[in-house]
Amino acid sequence: MANLALGKKPIEAWKNPEQATNGKVTGYTGNHGFTYAEWPRSYTLDFEEDIPIRIIRFLLWDSLGVGKKRSDRKYQYILKASLDSTEWVELYTTDEIGSNGWQSFEFSNPLFARFIKLEAISNTANRSFHIVEFEVHDDIPYKLDADIMNEKTIEIDNEIEDYDEDTFYFSESNKVWDFLKKLEENDTLKAVEIAKNRVIETMREPNLGIGKIVNQYLPEQDEEFITSEHLVATGDMSGPGVLIFKEIAEKTKVDISLDELPVKYADYVRFATENFLMDNATSGTNGAVALIGEEGLISEIMRMLRREGQDPRIIGTVIGKGDGRLETGDVVNEMIASAQLLSEIEIRKE
């Protein structure tokens, strides 16, 4: 899960273009914290290859970076996508009134595109069009801690690519073939290929960036532990997966409740679990890192991780001192096939 627009600059000339893809969505003022250009002007990002997109969202200047009163200005724009920068698909056009603040567009199936273009049409306040942040996500990202002024779901009917059926052979042919046909109907096999390549890229890259950030919040030897400055516990989820929280709970004598179990490519994870291809689909090489700490500290670390292109989530809470219990919703049954591993978790009925 990643913001693929992070660090990118538009093809066209905009003032301070780095401001719109630096991961910062707070603290902007009337003078800084955004990119701008005189409208009409296009803002086009080139991702250099076809990518699967689940959400495009961007923040248009609304005066709420440091203030509490929303500006009454309205921006008009057209959002487009293209594979070759020649033929464009219009995804959304504002009405005659326009909008400001967060604009969010989720696609029912992955949208494949190399180029994303925002055509800046107008601003009722002045001659400039202001973009505070522009994000393009390949999966469902973290939830925004802000009002979304314009939120749409766009239906995507991906074309099915032809392929030779004889090239596929599996011992459990019916189950797997049905799954492949479902992928054709919903995501296309191209999405599977891209997912595979992204997983391989993740396996090749060590989590050095994450490690450097986390290390800043660990106490030095003989240093006094301060709750507001130091993480209580950390753990690598590569091996145990979600059961890392069970290990932490037992070691620290607390009870932990998980509210969410985010995984990449959830459909594939469910298929692997249902067909016993993996006993624990929440684990994996270069897996996620579990962090436990005071709420304000975790929020600070999350901001730093997002600037590095990561997609941190708050997935649960420490209930309090206890017997080392780990509880979660019954969605865990879709991710862990091993009865032995499931027996270590208290599963809530939802």
Per-residue pLDDT reduced to its tens digit, 186-236 = 555 566 666 667 666 666 666 677 888 888 999 888 889 998 999 999 888
For each of the domains in the chain, give its residue range(s) and CATH number, in order of start. Answer: 17-148 (2.60.120.260), 165-204 (no CATH), 208-348 (3.90.650.10)
Average pLDDT of the residues in 237-244: 83
So what's the pLDDT on residue 1? 63
Q: Say whether pLDDT at 173 is over 50.
A: no
The reported pLDDT for the residue numbered 184 is: 55
pLDDT of residue 186: 55
Tens of pLDDT along 289-345? 899 999 999 999 999 888 888 888 899 999 999 999 999 998 888 888 888 889 999
Q: pTM (2 decimals)?
A: 0.54
Looking at residue 159, what is its pLDDT? Answer: 44
Confidence label for 35 from pLDDT (cuts 50, 70 and 90): very high
Task: Return the pLDDT at 116.
Answer: 96
Q: Summarize the confidence of residues 117-139 as an average pLDDT.
A: 96
Q: What is the mean pLDDT of the chain?
A: 84
Residues 104-117, mean pLDDT to the nearest whole number: 93
The per-residue pLDDT for range 51-97, each reduced to its tens digit, is 999 999 999 999 999 888 999 999 999 999 999 898 899 999 999 89
Q: Tens digit of pLDDT for each residue in 137-170?
A: 998 898 898 999 999 999 876 543 333 333 333 3
C-alpha distances in angstroms, 162 versus 156, 197, 231? 19, 20, 51
Inter-CA distances, 250 with 80, 178, 253, 319, Å: 51, 42, 5, 13
- pLDDT value of residue 167: 34
